[in-house]
């Protein structure tokens, strides 16, 4: 990745890829979750610790089998099914994980269940060779050690598998490193089980689900696959995406029915869009809640803490941060609302700014229900504008305004007839050198 950030912490849809995997694992209610990590251990531990997982340290990187062995102490006396997953393969679904463990408990009780896939280009993947007409594994071989006939097989090993804990470490203890790479290969446990007279099985999944990330280009490809799936789900759930390929969701974006999302909209983490809302083109929504019937954009930015109540409007080039717009309130254009409470049906004129920060602390602005804020006004917080009050355009409001009052807080206009013409004549003469 050529990065100071650990590979598995690079984000997909705004969330580290490792945490995508952990989230899916949690839906299975595992008794224990262990992350095995080598280099960059501190970064991974900090990221994983809040999610109730243990970590095990692989001091030397001696292969996948060696890596799994490092989890033995963390698993302790656990007696159950073990799922072996990879932190840089983040899109594996909970359903596929359940298929793995379900097959492990099939009538023929396979020793190991391997997750296989058929990529468009099998390349250097390890191959899974099955017995004709079945899912029983005849042989597993790494590409480096495979002969021409074995390399011609198209079923590949994803590296993911399910195995009973009582079998796993007994088999790993017998894995050797007499191979082209001198490493301890996890897939060797399949052939060791076969030597004991116990068959293993393979289940298949789509190649996109087991796509791994080893470069920035692959990160972008996996991001694209995740986004494509999320867009399809949003539309299947009743949202309209005018140009789906231009809409980008975060991992936790919530989108209701009859929502309309126009082209080039980006959702950051924490966005909630209720039924019937409209998000116009080129808007960015993060950490914000948009109620039914509300209208956002185009070219709007909703930052964390923004709340738009029903039928409110935030228009073009409006930024809202930690502020609530009441039912039917409007800020139609060219406005900043930060740390504010805007009452129902209030109207915020173009160019209005809540001056909420003095360089040290943030302060709050309250605009009452039905109030009208004229264009190009500055509301210097902390300040309250009463219900139904009117702030004249161009005002700088520094004190509270009573309900239904008119406030004018701007300099007095003075006119000097003919002054401009005299000024131009004088300056033109100077320019000529006269």
Query: What residues are annotated to the active site?
Result: 333
Instruction: Write out the two tokens for 413.
Output: 């206009």
Question: Which residues are CB-contacts of 344 (< 8 A; sequence separation ≥ 6)?
Answer: 309, 326, 327, 328, 329, 369, 370
Give, in order, the Cα–Cα distances in Å from 418 to each of 364, 414, 421, 427. Answer: 45, 13, 6, 15
Q: What is the rounded distance in angstroms from the CA atom of residue 365 to the CA atom of residue 381?
A: 5
Helix, coil or strand: residue 253: coil
Q: Which residue shows structure tokens 């309900």?
A: 403
Write down the residue that tokens 């300040």 correspond to. 383
Distance between CA atoms of 181 and 414, rounded to whole angstroms? 86
Which residues partner with 19 through β-bridges? none
Q: Which residues pair with 34 in a beta bridge?
A: 54
Q: CA 224, CA 43: separation in Å to the nearest integer?
A: 25
Quote the CA–CA distance of 70 and 63 in Å, as a whole number: 11
| CB 163 within 8 Å of CB 104 | yes
- Burial of 1: CB neighbours in 10 Å, binned 0-12, 13-18, 19+: middle
**What's the first-to-final CA gap in the chain, in angstroms?**
69
Q: What is the DSSP letter of 136?
A: B
Q: What are phi and psi of 389, to 5 degrees?
A: -70, 160
In terms of Cβ atoms closer than 10 Å to its own Cβ (0-12, 13-18, 19+), residue 23 is middle
d(CA 1, CA 7): 7
Question: Please, which residues bridge with residue 162 across strands?
Answer: 83, 113
User: Looking at 262-329, which runs of residues are DSSP E strands?
Assistant: 266-267, 272-273, 278-279, 284-285, 289-290, 295-296, 301-302, 307-308, 313-325
Gap between the Cα atoms of 396 and 391, Å rounded: 9
DSSP codes of every residue in 219-243: HHHHHHHHHHHHHHHHHHTT-EESS
Shortest CA distance to 296 belongs to which of 331, 268, 337?
Answer: 331
């Amino acid at each position: 990745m050529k990065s100071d950030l650990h590979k598995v912490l690079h984000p997909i849809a705004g969330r580290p890829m490792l945490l995508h995997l952990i989230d899916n694992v949690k839906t299975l209610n595992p008794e224990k979750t262990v992350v095995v990590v080598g280099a960059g251990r501190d970064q991974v531990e900090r990221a994983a610790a809040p999610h109730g997982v243990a970590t095990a340290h692989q001091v030397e990187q001696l292969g996948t089998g060696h890596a799994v062995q490092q989890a033995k102490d963390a698993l302790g006396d656990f007696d159950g099914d073990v799922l072996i997953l990879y932190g840089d393969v983040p899109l594996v679904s909970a359903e596929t994980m359940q298929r793995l463990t379900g097959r492990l408990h099939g009538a023929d009780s396979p020793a190991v269940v391997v997750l296989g896939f058929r990529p468009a280009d099998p390349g250097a993947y390890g191959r899974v060779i099955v017995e004709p007409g079945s899912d029983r594994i005849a042989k597993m071989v790494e590409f480096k050690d495979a002969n021409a006939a074995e390399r011609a097989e198209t079923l590949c090993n994803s590296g993911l598998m399910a195995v009973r804990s009582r079998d796993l470490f007994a088999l790993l203890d017998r894995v050797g490193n007499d191979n082209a790479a001198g490493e301890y290969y996890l897939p060797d446990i399949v052939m060791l089980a076969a030597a004991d007279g116990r068959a293993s099985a393979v289940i298949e999944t789509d190649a996109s689900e087991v796509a791994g990330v080893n470069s920035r280009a692959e990160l972008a490809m996996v991001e694209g696959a995740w986004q494509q799936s999320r867009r399809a789900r949003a539309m299947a759930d009743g949202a309209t995406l005018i140009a789906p390929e231009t809409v980008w969701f975060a991992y936790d974006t919530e989108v209701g029915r009859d929502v309309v999302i126009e082209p080039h909209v980006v959702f950051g983490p924490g966005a909630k869009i209720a039924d019937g809302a409209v998000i116009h083109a080129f808007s960015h929504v993060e950490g914000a809640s948009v109620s039914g019937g509300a209208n956002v954009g185009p070219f709007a930015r909703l930052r964390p803490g923004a709340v738009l109540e029903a039928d409110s409007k935030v228009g073009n080039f409006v930024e809202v941060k930690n502020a609530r717009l009441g039912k039917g309130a409007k800020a139609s254009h060219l406005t900043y609302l930060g740390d504010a409470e805007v009452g129902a049906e209030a109207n915020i004129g173009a160019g209005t700014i809540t001056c909420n920060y003095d360089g040290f602390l943030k302060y709050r602005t309250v605009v009452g229900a039905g109030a009208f804020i004229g264009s190009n006004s500055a509301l210097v917080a902390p300040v309250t504008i009463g219900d139904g009050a009117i702030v004249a355009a161009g005002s700088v409001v520094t004190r509270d305004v009573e309900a239904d009052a008119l406030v004018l807080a701007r300099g007095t206009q003075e006119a000097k007839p003919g002054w401009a013409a005299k000024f131009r004549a004088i300056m033109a003469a100077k320019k000529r050198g006269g």
